[in-house]
Amino acid sequence: MANTYADTYSAWMKDPEAFWAEAAKGIDWDKPWDKVFDADAGVYGRWFAGAMCNTAYNCLDRHVKAGNGDALALIYDSPMTGKVEKYTYAQLTDEVATLAGVLADKGVGKGDRVIVYMPMIPQAAIAMLACARIGAVHSVVFGGFAAKELATRLEDAKPKAILSASCGLEPGRVIAYKPLLDEAIEISSHKPETCIVFQRPEKAADLTAGRDHDWQGLCDGARAAGRKAGCVSVAATDPLYILYTSGTTGQPKGVVRDNGGHMVALNWTMSNIYGVSAGDVYWAASDVGWVVGHSYIVYAPLLAGCATILFEGKPVGTPDAGTFWRVISDHGAKVLFTAPTAFRAIKKEDPKGEFLKKYDLSGLKALFLAGERADPDTVQWAEDMLKVPVIDHWWQTETGWAIAANPMGIELLPIKHGSPSVAMPGYDVQILDENHKQVAAGKMGAICVKLPLPPGCFPTLWQNDERFRSSYLVDYPGYYMTADAGYKDADGYLYIMARTDDIINVAGHRLSTGGMEEVLASHPDVAECAVIGVADQLKGQVPCGFIVLKAGVDRDPAEIEKEVVGLVRQKIGPVAAFKLAMTVARLPKTRSGKILRGTMRSIADGEAYNMPATIDDPAILDEITDVLKGRGYGGRV
């Protein structure tokens, strides 16, 4: 058995199929695969072709069958409501099988899509697993998105049913989900047959007769009738879920995850990357609406037989900057995984770590960070405070698990601040120049992964092989283009520096500036616009919109700026955190009319930039600089 990272990585390199076949032994299969990897199937090949399995079975039933039904599976901790609820594997299996029975009785079956639009309550995880149990394909939509974003997903996924709750809870306000859901269904041309709504005591929802049903009522009925659904065997290559993520336009990309490869990869990561095993308590402080929530709140911890913490709260303000430490000590979390922004928020409130002194964190063995670049200051602060390894790791919605990490479960490699460490087995990561040639160590380039992608990564976009190819595969033939730019040092450590597209990362949330531009452009007084991400001390980046008003508009620009801010909140949602809009006379462009967003970003962030050779009118950059300075941003360097 390989027991160093180098051995493990080279074992994979030497024989990828043998490597993943070995990892696949950690999963229970209904039927074994015909081929570990079928290079002729799908767009770039498919893993575990011919195998049959069920993800919910592997997450739940098999642990119960193995005699671990009384082990803790899920801990719901909600400082928002003051509630803590615990589910054993037996209890969670029962909840999931019951809801699965309800869904099946509503006509939902294998391959049908189900939208899950839920706050961070146990029913969100139960909903996902119930879909998996009957072979239905879930698509979770983050609660901070507005009705229009939900409608776009309804339109694309065409769900038979929606699982939702009456409300979500944000500090200081209750967010009624049902009006958003109704509006989305109203806008969408696709109308789901059934909505099952979990009524929360904080705010009940009015149910539409015929279409809407009370979650608890249906489950109580099913329970009284002894109705539970069994696990439906699906192909390893069948979709488990679709997760929409920001693309370069307002039309999100439907990232598809399959069943077999996903289980194999996630199960492998738990022991090898995170160093946890059955019985350990694992906490990913994210949201089930994001990929981190899918992989590390729900699927991976349960596959590995861990107890997963589902936390409904914020790192600060619920009620204070000691909440994370309380949760770790109350539940004995061995690993915490969150976004750097959460630690920046805690550091800002409690720079000296006074709250830490109140709790026993001796059970915590590591902090993992991802979702955005982990700035060295934050990593250093976390190390000083927690006195455990602080491990940055890099991944994307598309991959579903870490492309680069420090594999603590195999061996803890030296940590280099600013780097998510090294490529994981499965990923042949190369830094390429514009001629598709590998660059020397230390030189920046496009970060690409040689095809095929490993198990667990997306095989395609939902019913859109063409967009999958054009977005990810055509620019660097033979490679998956990550759309991140960066470099590798002489030791093979990766440094992820920037996106090469117009995706920005706001508080660990991935957002499309293109999508925001579409909203700004829809305002009747706006002639043209540009949205860029500017550096923000807390959130990493925040969006900043520039608008040029149509000729003849003589309204107060401040009014229009307020309106466009409101429009983004209404059309994309509060999660866009779009609060900065500035009216400018003109936008800087190249002679061919391309807006110089990169240069504008450098000005806003006060970074040095070279005058673009193709700029049409350099004077516009001074105008932009003045407007930005007027709002306290940047300056010309």
Binding residues vs ligand COA (CB under 6 A): 143-144, 168, 170, 175, 286-287, 290, 292, 314-316, 338-339, 341-342, 345, 371, 506-509, 539, 574-575, 577
Q: Please give the full DSSP string across 438-501, using - where no structure is assigned.
A: BPPTT--EEEEEESSPPTTS-SSBTT-HHHHIIIIISSSTTEEEEEEEEEE-TTS-EEEEEESS
- DSSP annotation of 577: -
112 vs 392, which CB is nearer to ligand AMP?
A: 392
Whether 338 contacts 369, CB under 8 Å: yes
In terms of Cα–Cα distance, which of 463, 475, 453, 567 is closest to 518?
567
374 makes contact with ligand AMP (CB under 6 A): yes
Of 32-40, 166-174, 266-274, 367-375, the segment contacting ligand AMP by CB under 6 A is 367-375
394 makes contact with ligand AMP (CB under 6 A): yes
Give the Cβ contact number of residue 419 at 10 Å: 23
Task: Rule CB under 6 A: choose which of 16, 247, 371, 452 binds ligand AMP.
Answer: 371
322 vs 371, which CB is nearer to ligand AMP?
A: 371
Partner whose footprint covers residue 77, from ligand AMP, ligand COA, none (CB < 5 to 8 Å by kind): none
Shortest Cβ distance from residue 405 to ligand COA (Å)? 15
Q: Interaction with ligand AMP in 255-314: which residues (CB under 6 A)?
A: 291
Partner whose footprint covers residue 144, from ligand COA, ligand AMP, none (CB < 5 to 8 Å by kind): ligand COA
- Bond from prior residue into 319 cis (ω within 30 degrees of 0): yes
Of 351-359, 365-373, 571-579, 607-615, the segment contacting ligand AMP by CB under 6 A is 365-373
Partner whose footprint covers residue 397, from ligand COA, ligand AMP, none (CB < 5 to 8 Å by kind): ligand AMP
Q: Interaction with ligand AMP in 475-514: which residues (CB under 6 A)?
A: 484, 496, 499, 505, 510
Whether 135 contacts 559, CB under 8 Å: no
Whether 187 contacts 135, CB under 8 Å: no
Partner whose footprint covers residue 507, from ligand AMP, ligand COA, none (CB < 5 to 8 Å by kind): ligand COA
Place of tokens 């919910």: 56
Q: CA neighbours within 13 Å on the CB side: how many for 347? A: 19
393 makes contact with ligand AMP (CB under 6 A): yes
122 vs 168, which CB is nearer to ligand COA?
A: 168
267 vs 396, which CB is nearer to ligand COA?
A: 396
**Which residues have a Cβ under 8 Å from the Cβ of 304 and sit 6 or more positions away?**
267, 270, 271, 276, 277, 278, 282
**Which residues have a Cβ under 8 Å from the Cβ of 67 and sit 6 or more positions away?**
none
Shortest Cβ distance from residue 418 to ligand AMP (Å)? 9
Partner whose footprint covers residue 117, from ligand AMP, ligand COA, none (CB < 5 to 8 Å by kind): none
Partner whose footprint covers residue 505, from ligand COA, ligand AMP, none (CB < 5 to 8 Å by kind): ligand AMP
Site string for ligand AMP, 232-261 (x = CB under 6 A): -------------x----------------
Shortest Cβ distance from residue 143 to ligand COA (Å)? 3
Shortest Cβ distance from residue 267 to ligand AMP (Å)? 20
N residues, the chain: 637
589 vs 597, which CB is nearer to ligand AMP?
A: 597
Angle between helices 513-521 and 557-571 (to 10 degrees): 120
Task: Rule CB under 6 A: choose which of 252, 322, 407, 420 binds ligand AMP.
Answer: 420
Q: Please give the full DSSP string across 548-578, using - where no structure is assigned.
A: EEPTT--S-HHHHHHHHHHHHHHHT-GGG--
Whether 525 contacts 549, CB under 8 Å: yes
> Is 586 in a helix, a strand, or coil?
coil
334 makes contact with ligand AMP (CB under 6 A): no
> Is 164 in a helix, a strand, or coil?
strand
**Which residues have a Cβ under 8 Å from the Cβ of 105 and sit 6 or more positions away?**
222, 227
Strand-pair partners of 198 = 165
Q: Which residues bind to ligand AMP, rule: CB under 6 A? A: 245, 291, 370-374, 392-397, 420, 484, 496, 499, 505, 510
